[in-house]
Structure 1
Amino acid sequence: MTEAITYAYAVARDADGSLEEVLPGLPGVGDASVHLVRVEPDDDVVVAVSAVPEQDFQEAALRAHLEDLDWLESVARAHNHVIDALAAHTTVLPLRLATVYLDDERVRLMLQTRREAFAGRLTALAAQVEWGVKIYVEAPERAASPADLPAEAGLSPGRAYLSHRRAQRHAREDVYRGASQAAERIESAARVHAVDRVQHRPQQGELAGGPGENVINDAYLVPLQHAQSFRADVLQAGEGFPGVRVEVTGPWAPYSFATPADVESMKRVVP
């Protein structure tokens, strides 16, 4: 029989006990049933958890799984689905993907130790959502070989090639200059609505999520009443820059703002 450990999705506030009504039929990782862990039966700060096979989340196995994009996508979808279901009803602090404990009791002890910090962060994030803002640069393609370039009057193929490369370099510089200007305008527009900002590392490869080079990858914390105005103003601020594409995603649970400043990052595996 496969041993089970506890997978933790998020810390949440359950002031009136209504989250219990959300859980029936809510599938977690591996379609496991999700339940809540509390320090005391009437405590309003809870952790949403489910059971997962220990063999899949041991350190060596987990490292291997994280290289398996199909497995990783399946876990990430389930993880985010649980968080989104909770966030539709209350304030949540999403935990990192693949945060696991040996059992529910270990989760309860963690919550008991950090409850005050979690409660303070839940209060601070109430009625606020996260928006993601990414800026992409779609720079001109690299120059073709001299033989593939059209002839320019009075220029040898070599000089034509150098002229083409020079023009291309200037065009590329113009695009990046436009991206910098767009970033300044977007930040200014975002500040009108947002109460906090986190600057993430630009994404590369498959994580970039679209054509072009991701040069800005920011997250903003925005009060619910400003959510749609934030999106509209940011998109408008990013208009008019050739070769620059702005992507606004959300609203999300406050993933980038969840961890209290005085609490160390959650470990993926707690012995």
Structure 2
Amino acid sequence: MTREQPGTPESATGTAAGTATYVYAVCRRLTPSALSGLTGLAGLAEGFPVRTLPLGPLTAVVQHVPAAEFTEDAWQRRLSDRAELERCARAHHEVVTAAAACGPTVPLALATLYRGDERAQQALGADRDRFAAALARIEGHAEWGVKVSLAAAAPGSRSAPPAPPRGGGGPSGGAGRAYLERKRGLHRAREQHHDRALQAAEDIDAALSRLATATRRLRPHSQEMTGERGRLQVLNAAYLVTAVREKELLDAVETLRRRTGAEVEVSGPWVPYSFVGEV
């Protein structure tokens, strides 16, 4: 999707001077009342309503935003402000979710901008076939996220092995050999535990994939990201699931928790962000 540097659009486009057109999503026909009460990027787009923009047989969900607030430099500053970035992301998601409540919806990336409505219609219209294919693919589906975590090390493996013997019994002595064997044993135990954790992740993914129309494996979060010291995330995946199979998915997660002893975190249903493809 092309993202353009905002500029002052021509008056012929019907866009207010000094603004750009921010695009949240593309869907099929959408009743404008479904967007009633949404403020969108409040504070950055004060006075401009979230609205629809026709794209032939499809509809874009858009909002005017001040061009000066969405230059490349301005947006980079916003990206570096975690609180501001989170606020924008939440506002974006709220609008996408409202549109998705009315039918299949393709969410666009945060800060997708065009130099006015006419340019947005031209650019988005050129991708009409890909939007239509994505909408057909996700219709009647929702995205469910599943994260699987296990203890990062086998029981007892976090304690250091006894210190090597001092004095005359060097590594060649019996005590030294015993020390090295204990070290090797702890290393093997950690490797085996890690292998079992990865196998549990594969088993869980395989079981849930059988209930999904499509799946996507994402990069597992590190302990620094999760803040869970001593826990290893071994699966971070998204599943595209029809409404009629959602209960089966949740039941399967509960069964897999008991069978594997893993911590399985499930979230959803979400707008299928992970399955709309690059459009």
Shift in alpha-carbon separation, 1:105–1:178, aligned structure 2, 3 A: same
Deviation at 1:85, TM superposition (A): 1.2
SS of equivalent residue, structure 2 residue 74: helix
Deviations 1:168-225 (A, max 9, x none): 5455334322322222221232133101111222233665475533332211111111
**For the residues of structure 1 that align with 2:224 and 2:91, how far apart are their CA atoms?**
20
Deviation at 1:230, TM superposition (A): 1.0
**For the residues of structure 2 that align with 1:4 and 1:160, how far apart are their CA atoms?**
74
1:75 equivalent in structure 2: 88
Structure 2: gaps (5+ residues): 1-15, 164-173
Counterpart of 1:8, as a letter, is: V
**For the residues of structure 1 that align with 2:158 and 2:77, how far apart are their CA atoms?**
37
2:50 pairs with 34, 37, 49, which one? 34
1:206-217 correspondence runs (5 A): 207-208=225-226, 212-217=231-236
2:241 pairs with 219, 222, 227, which one? 222
**For the residues of structure 1 that align with 2:36 and 2:183, how far apart are their CA atoms?**
62
2:256 equivalent in structure 1: 237
**For the residues of structure 1 that align with 2:61 and 2:227, how far apart are their CA atoms?**
29
Counterpart contact for 2:161–2:183, Cα < 8 Å = no
Counterpart contact for 1:143–1:164, Cα < 8 Å = no
1:115 equivalent in structure 2: 128
Report whether the alignment pairs 1:247 with 2:265: yes
Deviation at 1:227, TM superposition (A): 1.3
Counterpart of 1:38, as a letter, is: P
Deviation at 1:114, TM superposition (A): 1.1
1:258 equivalent in structure 2: 276
1:3 equivalent in structure 2: 18
SS of equivalent residue, structure 1 residue 30: coil
Report whether the alignment pairs 1:23 with 2:41: no
Q: Over alpha carbons, which structure has the higher Rg? A: 2
**For the residues of structure 2 that align with 1:138 and 1:163, how far apart are their CA atoms?**
24
Shift in alpha-carbon separation, 1:160–1:6, aligned structure 2, 3 A: farther
**For the residues of structure 1 that align with 2:260 and 2:203, how far apart are their CA atoms?**
11
Deviations 1:225-248 (A, max 9, x none): 111211221342243445x42211
2:215 equivalent in structure 1: 197
Report whether the alignment pairs 1:84 with 2:97: yes
State the identity as a percent.
38
2:190 pairs with 172, 179, 184, which one? 172
**For the residues of structure 2 that align with 1:58 and 1:207, how far apart are their CA atoms?**
30
SS of equivalent residue, structure 1 residue 29: coil
1:262 equivalent in structure 2: none
TM-score (norm 1): 0.78
Structure 1: gaps (5+ residues): 148-154, 260-264, 267-271
**For the residues of structure 2 that align with 1:51 and 1:207, how far apart are their CA atoms?**
35
Deviation at 1:97, TM superposition (A): 1.7
